[in-house]
Chains A and B, each alone.
Chain A
Amino acid sequence: MASQFVFDAIGTKWIIDVYDPLSRTEEEKLLARIHERITEFDKTYSRFRDDSLVMEMSRKPGRYVLPEDAQELFSVYKKVYDLTGGRFTPLIGNALVDAGYDAAYTLKQKQELTKPLSWDEVVSYSHPHIDILKPAILDFGAAGKGYLIDIVAGIIAEHGVVSYCVDAGGDIVQKNAQEAALTVGLEHPEDQRKIIGTVPLLNKSLCGSAGNRRVWGDFHHIINPDTLQSPRHMLAVWAIADKTIIADAMTTALYFVQPDVLAKHFSFEYFILNPDYSFEQSPGFGATVFT
Chain B
Amino acid sequence: MDSVTQNSQKSKRGLIAAIVALLLIAGGVFAFWKTDKNANTNEPLNTQNPTSSNPAILNSRYKDGTYTVDGNYQSPGGSEVIGVTLVLKDDVVVDATATVKTTRPISIDMQKVFIAGFKSQVVGKNIDQVNVGKVSGSSLTPKGFNDAVSKIKAQAAVAA
Contact = CB atoms under 8 A, between A and B. Distances in A.
Interface of A: 8, 11-13, 105-108, 145, 165, 167-172, 181-189, 191-198, 200, 202, 206-214, 216, 221, 236, 238, 273, 276-281, 283-284, 286-291
A214 B141 contact: yes
Contact of A193 (B95, B127, B139): B127
A216 B151 CA distance: 12
A145 B122 contact: no
B139 A291 contact: no
A197 B141 contact: no
A208 B94 contact: no
Interface in B11-33: none
B10 to A, nearest CB: 28
A276 B42 CA distance: 25
A169 B121 CA distance: 26
B144 A170 contact: no
Interface string B117-143: 001111111110011111111111110
A276 B122 CA distance: 9
Given A195-B127, A289-B120, A208 B137 contact: yes
A283 B64 contact: yes
Contact of B131 (A183, A208, A278): A183
Given A195-B124, A290-B122, A291-B123, A200 B41 contact: yes
B56 interface: no
Contacts of A238: 136
B148 interface: yes
Contact of A207 (B136, B147, B149): B136
